[in-house]
A and B are shown apart, each in its own frame.
Chain A
Amino acid sequence: MNKSTRVLLVSLLSVAVLAGCSKKVKEQPAAPVEPTPAEPAPVQSSGLYGPGDLDTDACLRQRVVYFDFDQDSVKPEFQQIMACHAKYLRDRPSSRITLQGHTDERGSRAYNQALGERRGNAVNSALQANGGSATQLTVVSYGEERPVCTDSNESCWSQNRRVEIVYTAQ
């Protein structure tokens, strides 16, 4: 069974679990997650995400999506991250995410403000496609104003072309 099938199954399962349960789901304590440093663990099938998982779950801990130059499409390698954050949004309807869109320093600042928003919108769409609700998601573009790395070379630029997933309510 390849990974994406597994994720799909897990997603379907969790939807089924959600649908099957009454709304008064007892909040489960954070499921202990085995640290799997090399591979991000697939979404836990054992139940619903809780706030504790944000710090412990290997997938949920990944909160940055990177982009190619002047591009705004979410690359396939980030689909798994989209799936687990979307599941968290489904599991916790009161949770809220702000998607902060960023670009590298090349090109003009106002154009980059627009490009950063496009990237934020792309992640927004991906999360909604995975079941997140529009009301839980806000996009803010900072353009090139908030770099994480300030050298003028590709290794730095690639770190700056990003969308940060920021939980404003867990």
Chain B
Amino acid sequence: MKKPLRWLATLTALLLPIVAMAQQKGLEIDIVGGNASALPITVVPMPYQGSAGAPATDVAAVVRADLDRSGQFRTLPEAQVVERPTRGAEVQYPTWRALKQDYLVVGRVLDAGAGAYRVEYELFDVAKGERMLGLAMTARSSAMRDVAHQMADAIYEKITGVRGAFWTRIAYVTASGRGDAMRYALMVADSDGYNPQTIVRSAEPLLSPSWSPDGNQLAYVSFERGNSAIYIQNISSGARELVASFRGINSAPAFSPDGRRLALTLSRSGNPEIYVMDLGSKQLTQLTNHFAIDTEPTWSADGGSIYFTSDRGGRPQIYQVAASGGSASRVTFQGNYNAKATVSFDGKKIAVAQGAGNTYKIALMDSSLGSPRWSTLSPGSLDESPSFAPNAGMVLYAAREGGRGVLYAVSADARVRQRLVLADGDVREPAWGPYRTTR
């Protein structure tokens, strides 16, 4: 009797990680575009050189996927990695020059005791034959994807000079079922869609998640009280607070960069206007006062001004107003329908959902070089809800395909798009979270 039981236990123990992994992989990845001008880089597989048992995560594969979807890099497919050095002394530069690689990453996974692993890795400039980076990271087995994302961030920053944003999280809303059996969930996942975690479940619609700048809280709209209401919820503890349930709509919350205020849309006056709530005192300041629809506030990175959508000119366009109030000025002049602005950290790029006829695409207005230049980031036809990564290197947005909602991440140069598909149901309302550490 004891033996079969023990066998069963062993079998269960063996199967459990597989089941867990299958559940974790909620979103699948799919590179749609290509990028011939991206930097060629080889991430050599990083073998496990310990004795306790290899981690479930293929660290090098995660780093490779991150670099690829940024649009800045083109990694050498693993099958073409002809040599497998694991440390600098083993690197033969001529091999990588022959393969026309600009950069090379090698590394290895070691035991760190108590079920933890240590990853040591190095980055090389192939042309110069020089080491650019040599780092080690230690983490528990369950955090190996986090380790890989941080490695990708370090490599990305060393080469491009821009901080990487792979080790970040995204929030989104899923809807499943039909009619009265419709169920909604507010989810948080890694930036590549792995490790999805349910934050709130509801039988009533959920929408408009907004991250607090420290990444610990989400503000969102829920219809669970019959009418729309705004909640702020702590992601790890689940504790939440109802902050707005006025007569009329309670919509589109957005945390200020200092986390002390919340911009939101209320129609308690009879018409949708932008307000700023002091989260300490809950005191409201009305920012707009116009008979048009004013909604979808989003803060500039310095907290000094608020961008919003308004149809005061006849059709929805993006406007800007000082966070202390005053007159608003129009920001977008190209396109009939521009809504739901997301603003880059430096304020130079604004992405919107741009409509023309029945087609809605994500469009980018870039003012880096002075007068604004427009480019199209997505093919349509019903794309919406753009959200910048904290380094503005990528934009996350929602699209409809085959009658359901899917999420895409597109590089800010529009050259690489990656689809993140939930296995079942409808995915919408993406919001890219902040960096997980402050500098």
| Residues of chain B within 8 A of A113, CB atoms compared | 207, 221, 228, 249, 251-252, 265, 295
Q: How far, in angstroms, from A21 to B205 measured CA to CA in the complex?
A: 46
Q: How far, in angstroms, from A113 to B296 measured CA to CA in the complex?
A: 10
A-B contact count (CB 8 A): 84
Tell whether, in the assembled complex, residue B295 and residue A111 are in contact, meaning their CB atoms are under 8 Å apart: yes
Assuming A113-B249, A118-B293, A152-B400, is B339 touching A108 (CB within 8 A)?
Answer: yes
| Residues of chain B within 8 A of A121, CB atoms compared | 270
Residue A61 at the B interface, CB < 8 A?
no
Instruction: Apart from A108-B309, A109-B429, A111-B339, list 7 A-B contacts with CB within 8 A.
Output: A108-B339, A109-B208, A113-B228, A114-B251, A141-B249, A145-B223, A152-B403
Assuming A140-B227, A142-B223, A146-B205, is B340 touching A111 (CB within 8 A)?
Answer: yes
| Residues of chain A within 8 A of B295, CB atoms compared | 110-111, 113-114
A contact residues, range: 20 to 34
Q: How far, in angstroms, from A109 to B397 measured CA to CA in the complex?
A: 13
11 A-B pairs, CB-CB below 8 angstroms?
Answer: A108-B339, A109-B208, A109-B385, A110-B265, A113-B221, A113-B228, A114-B272, A140-B226, A142-B223, A150-B403, A152-B381
Tell whether, in the assembled complex, residue A107 and residue B337 are in contact, meaning their CB atoms are under 8 Å apart: yes
Q: Which residue of A lies closest to B404 (CB)?
A: A150
| Residues of chain B within 8 A of A143, CB atoms compared | 207
Tell whether, in the assembled complex, residue A107 and residue B400 are in contact, meaning their CB atoms are under 8 Å apart: no
Q: Which residue of A lies closest to B381 (CB)?
A: A152
- For B337-361 the 0/1 string (1 means CB < 8 A from A) is 1011000000000000101001010
How many of chain B's residues have a CB under 8 angstroms from any CB in A?
37
Q: How far, in angstroms, from A141 to B267 measured CA to CA in the complex?
A: 11
Q: How far, in angstroms, from A145 to B270 measured CA to CA in the complex?
A: 21
Binding site for B on A (CB under 8 A): 70, 105-111, 113-115, 117-118, 121, 139-143, 145-146, 150-152, 154
Question: Interface on chain A toward B: helix, strand, loop, or mixed SS?
Answer: mixed
Assuming A140-B227, A146-B205, is B296 touching A110 (CB within 8 A)?
Answer: yes
* Partner pick for B382 among A106, A115, A141, CB 8 A cutoff: A106
Residue B428 at the A interface, CB < 8 A?
yes
